[in-house]
Structure 1
Amino acid sequence: MCYIQKENQTLMLHRTKKENDVNGGKWIGVGGKFEEGESAEECMKREIYEETGLTALNLQLHGFVVFPELYHGQDEGMFIYTCHDFTGKIHECDEGDLQWINNEDIPTLSMWEGDYHFFEWIQDGKFHSAKIHYQNDKVIDYQEHAY
């Protein structure tokens, strides 16, 4: 997951276009799944380009989160990045609508409950390791360590 940022704004993806989307109706950062042989950074840069049309020149890693039993009983892990250094023009995304959101308005967006923590991580300059356990789309356990 990457939050692309410029001038006190963050590029957010409003997931409105995919059928049977677990993220349907939510605002999220951009990102996706690894392809064979990719590093985390290679995956993130590829996903940024595919979803936005932007080329990430530099990424900053803020943490790693595990979601136990998130999809059909399987755990999922996710790296949390920001990107302030990019080139290109935003294109239409087939997963939803991309929109620059003022950072002070992010807490008002309909996001996954645990995602609000990621913006705290971005601000404090530490590396975070977390476990967020959801049940019926609600956080039932949040554990986090900052280094």
Structure 2
Amino acid sequence: MRKIKLCTLCYIERDDKYLMLHRVSKKNDINKDKWIGVGGHFEEMESPEDCLIREVREETGYELCDFDFRGIVTFVYGKRGEEVVEYMHLFVGRNVVGEPIECNEGILKWVDKKEVLNLNLWEGDKIFLKLLEEREEFFSLKLVYTEDEKLSEVFLDGKLQNVKNG
């Protein structure tokens, strides 16, 4: 049986850097040792924006004052026949206020945008991070991963793309 999940992810910008979260703290974390933006799963009755603002506050201590909804990323992953389909609402944020807090999911660090792609990222994350930099218009990206976490298919705005792993 397939499982459906809804989440947000935000790359907060400041001084040509992104606030990145190195996921090293949680056990059984699908993102263990990966670098990602901040965000999380929807709670009952939340809009994407409600979830975004709450998750940024909970994970960073910052209040997010300005953001853009940049895309929908559909992840398909897991064991064949038991796949998870996760719809991630992708945002870019700016103008955070407040004092940073320690995150219980990992280590927060401001990383120069030019260095982000050198971090330990999911292959699909590299694709949408490039899209955030190269495209201004809203996009839809579908990323299909095999059971062994390799990116097998990529669809951008409904069109199949060539996949290059590594």
Q: TM-score, normalised by structure 1?
A: 0.94
Q: Which runs of 4+ in 1 moved over 6 A?
A: none
Inter-partner Cα distance in structure 1 for 2:115 and 2:24 = 19
CA contact (8 A) 2:74 2:142 kept: yes
| 1:24-43 matches, cutoff 5 A | 24-43=32-51
- Aligned residue runs from structure 1 range 44-83, under 5 A: 44-70=52-78, 72-83=82-93
Gaps of 5+ in 1: none
Contact 2:64-2:97 at 8 Å conserved across structures:
yes
Q: In the aligned structure 1, how far is the partner of 2:58 from the partner of 2:44?
A: 16
Write out per-residue CA displacement over residues 24-57 of structure 1, whole angstroms, 9 at most, x where no aligned residue.
Answer: 0000000100011110001001000000000001
TM-superposed CA distance for 1:107, in Å, is 1.1
* C-alpha contact (below 8 Å) 2:77/2:149 kept by paired residues: no
The secondary structure found in structure 1 opposite 2:41 is coil
Aligned to 2:108: 98
Distance 2:72 2:55 in 1: 17
Compute the TM-score of the two structures, normalised by the length of structure 2. 0.84
Match of 1:140 among 133, 152, 157: 152
Shift of 1:58: 1.7
Other-structure match for 2:137: 126
Letter aligned with residue 21 of structure 2:
L
SS of the counterpart of 1:114? Answer: helix
Residue type of the alignment partner of 2:108: L
C-alpha distance in 1, partners of 2:76/2:13?
A: 29
Identity %: 38
- In structure 1, the residue corresponding to 2:40 is in which secondary structure? coil
Alignment root-mean-square deviation, CA = 1.4
Question: In 2, distance between residues paired with 1:110 and 1:144?
Answer: 23
Q: Which amino acid aligns with 2:116?
A: I
What is the Cα deviation at residue 67 of structure 1? 1.1
Aligned length: 146
2:73 alignment partner AA: V
- Larger mean CA deviation between 23-32 and 60-69 belongs to 60-69
Mapped to 2, the partners of 1:130 and 1:26 lie a distance apart of 20
> SS of the counterpart of 2:39?
coil
